[in-house]
Chains A and B, each alone.
Chain A
Amino acid sequence: AQKITQTQPGMFVQEKEAVTLDCTYDTSDQSYGLFWYKQPSSGEMIFLIYQGSYDEQNATEGRYSLNFQKARKSANLVISASQLGDSAMYFCAMREMDSSYKLIFGSGTRLLVRP
Chain B
Amino acid sequence: EAGVAQSPRYKIIEKRQSVAFWCNPISGHATLYWYQQILGQGPKLLIQFQNNGVVDDSQLPKDRFSAERLKGVDSTLKIQPAKLEDSAVYLCASNKISSESSYNSPLHFGNGTRLTVT
Contact = CB atoms under 8 A, between A and B. Distances in A.
Interface of A: 4, 6, 31, 33, 35, 43-45, 47, 50, 52, 91, 95, 97, 99-108
Nearest to A43: B112
B5 interface: no
Most buried by B among A52, A101, A104, A105: A101
Given A35-B106, A45-B109, A101 B42 contact: no
Contacts of A99: 55
21 contacts: A4-B42, A6-B42, A33-B103, A33-B104, A35-B107, A44-B109, A45-B43, A45-B91, A47-B108, A95-B103, A97-B100, A97-B103, A101-B97, A102-B33, A102-B55, A102-B56, A103-B33, A105-B35, A105-B42, A105-B44, A108-B42
Interface of B: 31, 33, 35, 41-45, 48, 55-56, 89, 91, 93, 97, 100, 103-104, 106-109, 111-112, 114
B106 A47 contact: yes
A108 B103 contact: no
B107 A50 contact: no
Nearest to B35: A105
Most buried by B among A35, A95, A104: A95
Given A100-B48, A102-B48, 8 more contacts: A6-B42, A43-B114, A44-B109, A50-B106, A91-B42, A103-B107, A104-B45, A107-B41
Contact of B45 (A6, A31, A43, A102): A102
Nearest to A49: B106
A67 B42 CA distance: 21
Contacts of A101: 31, 97, 103
A87 to B, nearest CB: 16
